[in-house]
């Protein structure tokens, strides 16, 4: 897929750091040249942008100028009348066995072009092209990378809840489309994590009897034990450089944190086998690890239940960072480094929260009957998690903005849990 | 112990019945063979229960383990797997660890009472294979468990 870049003039900018903002109205004019595909692509772009909470799509029924003339010669006065701030126009053309999309983004107030790009790909990749266009618009307007041309690994769940539940390792687009399955459901699989290059998965499987971390290569289809251990290995997560996996190893009922390189050659023990130490996650720089422990804190004998600790990547200097009520689980460091997302169980409900890496500024952004398994978008703006809304509900995936606004259900083929979000799969052009 | 003797007697009666009339339909499934996994499951208290978020054995749990020890001493050539479970009201990885801690609590109690370590394996199913389906405190209490299964 290739991008061609046209000149533009800089104009408006959305600030994504604030809390709730007024979404910017955008007029997505149907792509010319292939009406059917054009409207499908526009729908995906619209769903992406509106789903971010930063944009609002103006209904085409309000449009004054027709699509064909808007594409060649936009009349900005007409678009100002319908309160559009952004105008998207473009066309699709057939190019041998590929399609080529050209599009422009205008700032309606100044009448200036903000973005003009064209690219081509196989027709079957139209959803990916639509996500890439949405990423380009998002980046141009917010100044930050989008998260639309991404995938999630997840657990597909079917059958009755409980013993007979069938779980398959799956991978899908971030919006739930194009799901495919990498295991057949014969063995229990949970907690998949995707590597920084989006080509590898670390997950827990019962395939070999002892629950163990497996390492799956999406490109080659190779699926193997991460390493051989006496005892259960679980709760894997890749290091930021993708070269190693940090995980828990259980011996005689005590779980400690270890790290192993993905080639399975070298293992290092980071915490002692004294308590339950699990759910380790590296800081984006790789210099620290946040984890869950039910240990009694050295500095605070008062600590009880289950808390979050941060230690150096070497395993030294472990410090408790959670001090609120309830039990803390599943900390995940934001790719931007500024927040740690976590799950809190308190008074019969589950909460999705955020705190600074030093434990300050704790806030709850979502609450429900059962909430778990948070995972960040690569731009650190959105979190995907598993939620059951009540005792009769089944697990589903939801996305929410880090401000707690704009909750969206991810439409998956069946019940789903334990999503892990990839980075952007293609580079968004910068102008 | 009493139950166990009853079971053995029951099996003996059935065998006798078979001898006397080979054509008679006998439901052998109703009386498990002594020393079998079915015998253990039916005639020994095969599981112990834990308090919320805990992996320590209560007085009652210890008594259940004692009955398991008796049986395992009687049938010394058997092996067991202790399965650790948690209720569904928790997060996945921690429950994976908690289930292992529970299974190991039973393993340690069994070995402490003289069952050889080599005969006992443990496995944690966390919250993902709850023995009892459903929801509500009564169900969750039954799923905070470690179940000893004869292989």
Cβ pair A276:B97 closer than 8 A: yes
Assess B14–A contact: CB distance below 8 Å, yes or no.
no
Residue of chain B minimizing CA distance to A347: B89
- ipTM of the complex as predicted: 0.91
Residues of B in contact with A191 (CB under 8 A): 92-93
| Residue A349 with chain B: CB contacts under 8 Å | none
Name the residue among B92, B101, B122 with its Cβ closest to that of A190: B92
Average pLDDT in chain A:
92
List, for residues A385-408, the tens digit of each pLDDT value.
Answer: 999 999 999 999 999 999 999 999
Tens of pLDDT, residue by residue over B32-88, are 899 999 999 999 999 999 999 999 999 999 999 999 999 999 999 999 999 999 999
The answer to whether residue B138 scores a pLDDT higher than 80 is: yes
Please give the residue that has the higher pLDDT: either B15 or A96. A96
Strand ranges across the sheet with A415-421: A180-181, A166-173, A151-158, A415-421
B62 interfaces chain A, CB cutoff of 8 Å: no
Give contacts of B97 with chain A, Cβ < 8 Å: 234, 248, 250, 255, 276, 278
Q: By the CB < 8 Å criterion, does B48 face chain A?
A: no
Using pLDDT thresholds of 50, 70 and 90, give the confidence band for residue A93.
very high
Res B121 pLDDT > 80 = yes
Min CA distance, A170 vs chain B (Å)? 18
Residues of chain A in Cβ contact (below 8 Å) with chain B:
160-163, 165, 167, 188, 190-191, 204, 209-211, 232, 234-235, 248, 250, 252-255, 276, 278-279, 292, 305-306, 327, 329-330, 343, 345, 370, 372-373, 391-392, 418
- The band of B29, judged by pLDDT with boundaries at 50, 70 and 90, is low
Question: What value does the mean pLDDT take over residues B19-29?
Answer: 48
- Token pair recorded at residue A228: 């051989």
Could B93 and A392 be called an inter-chain contact, meaning their C-beta atoms sit closer than 8 Å? Answer: no
Percentage above 70 pLDDT, chain A: 93
Which chain A residues are Cβ-neighbours of B125 within 8 angstroms?
Answer: 188
Question: Does the structure show a pLDDT above 50 at A238?
Answer: yes
Q: Is the Cβ of B53 closer than 8 Å to some Cβ of chain A?
A: yes
pTM: 0.90
Provide the pLDDT for residue A8: 42
3-state secondary structure chain A: CEEEECCCCCCCCCCCCCCCCCCEEEEECCCECCHHHHHHHHHHHHHHHHHCCCEEECCHHHCCCCHHHHHHCCCHHHHHHCCCCEEEEEEEEEECCEEEEEEEEEECCCCEEEEEEEEEEEHHHHHHHHHHHHHHHHHHHHCCCCCCCCEEEEEEEECCCCCCCEEEEEEEECCCCCCEECCCCCCCEEEEEECCCCCEEEEEECCCCCCEEEEEECCCCCEEECCCCCCCEEEEEECCCCCEEEEEEEECCEEEEEEEECCCCCEEECCCCCCEEEEEEECCCCCEEEEEECCCCCCCCCCCCCEEEEEECCCCCCEECCCCCCEEEEEEECCCCCCEEEEEEECCEEEEEEECCCCCCCEEEEEECEEEEEEECCCCCEEEEEEECCCCCCCEEEEEECCCCCCEECCCCCEEEEEEECCCCCCCCCC
């Amino acid at each position: 897929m290739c991008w061609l870049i046209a000149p533009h003039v800089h104009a408006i900018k959305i600030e994504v750091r604030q809390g709730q903002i007024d979404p910017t109205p955008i007029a997505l004019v149907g792509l010319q040249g292939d009406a059917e595909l054009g409207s499908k692509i526009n729908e995906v772009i619209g769903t992406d942008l509106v789903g971010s909470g930063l944009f609002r799509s103006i209904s085409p029924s309000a449009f004054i100028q027709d699509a064909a003339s808007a594409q060649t010669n936009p009349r900005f006065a007409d678009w100002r009348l319908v309160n559009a701030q952004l105008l998207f126009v473009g066309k699709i053309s057939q190019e041998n066995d590929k399609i080529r999309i050209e599009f422009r983004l205008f700032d309606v107030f100044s009448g200036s072009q903000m973005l003009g790009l064209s690219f081509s790909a196989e027709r079957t990749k139209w959803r990916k092209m639509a996500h890439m266009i949405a990423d380009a618009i998002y980046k141009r307007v917010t100044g930050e990378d989008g998260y639309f041309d991404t995938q999630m690994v997840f657990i597909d769940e079917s059958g009755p809840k409980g013993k007979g539940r069938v779980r398959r390792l799956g991978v899908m687009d971030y919006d739930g489309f194009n799901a495919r399955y990498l295991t057949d459901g014969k063995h229990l699989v949970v907690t998949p994590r995707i590597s920084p290059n989006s080509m590898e998965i670390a997950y827990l499987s019962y395939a070999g009897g002892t629950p163990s971390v497996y390492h799956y290569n999406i490109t080659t289809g190779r699926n193997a034990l991460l390493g051989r251990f006496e005892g259960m290995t679980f709760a894997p997560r890749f290091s930021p450089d993708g070269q190693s996996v940090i995980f828990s190893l259980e011996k005689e009922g005590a779980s400690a944190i270890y790290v192993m390189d993905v080639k399975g050659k070298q293992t290092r023990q980071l915490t002692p086998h004294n308590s339950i130490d699990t759910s380790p996650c590296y800081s984006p720089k790789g210099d620290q690890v946040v984890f869950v422990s039910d240990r009694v804190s050295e500095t605070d004998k008062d600590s009880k239940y289950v808390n979050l600790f941060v230690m150096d990547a070497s395993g030294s200097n472990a410090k408790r960072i959670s001090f609120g009520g309830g039990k803390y689980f599943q900390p995940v460091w934001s790719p931007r480094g500024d927040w740690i997302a976590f799950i809190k169980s308190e008074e019969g409900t589950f909460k999705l929260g955020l705190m600074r890496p030093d434990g300050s500024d704790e806030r709850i952004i979502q609450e429900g009957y059962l909430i778990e398994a948070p995972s960040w978008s690569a731009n650190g703006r959105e979190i995907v998690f598993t939620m059951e809304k009540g005792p009769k509900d089944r697990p589903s995936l939801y996305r929410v903005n880090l401000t707690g606004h704009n909750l969206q259900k991810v439409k998956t083929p069946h019940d789903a849990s334990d999503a892990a979000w990839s980075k952007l799969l293609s580079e968004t052009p910068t102008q | 112990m009493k139950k166990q003797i009853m079971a053995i007697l029951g099996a003996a009666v059935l065998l006798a019945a078979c001898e006397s009339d080979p054509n008679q339909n006998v439901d052998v499934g109703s009386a498990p063979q002594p020393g079998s996994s079915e015998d253990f499951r039916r005639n020994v208290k095969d599981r112990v229960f834990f308090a919320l978020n805990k992996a320590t054995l209560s007085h009652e749990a210890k008594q259940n383990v004692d009955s398991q020890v008796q049986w395992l001493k009687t049938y010394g050539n058997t092996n067991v797997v202790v399965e650790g479970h948690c209720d569904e009201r928790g997060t996945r990885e921690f429950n994976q660890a908690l289930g292992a801690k529970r299974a190991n609590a039973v393993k340690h109690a069994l070995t402490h009472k003289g069952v050889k370590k080599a005969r006992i394996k443990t496995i944690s199913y966390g919250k993902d294979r709850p023995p009892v389906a459903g929801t509500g405190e009564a169900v969750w209490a039954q799923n905070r468990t470690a179940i000893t299964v004869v292989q």
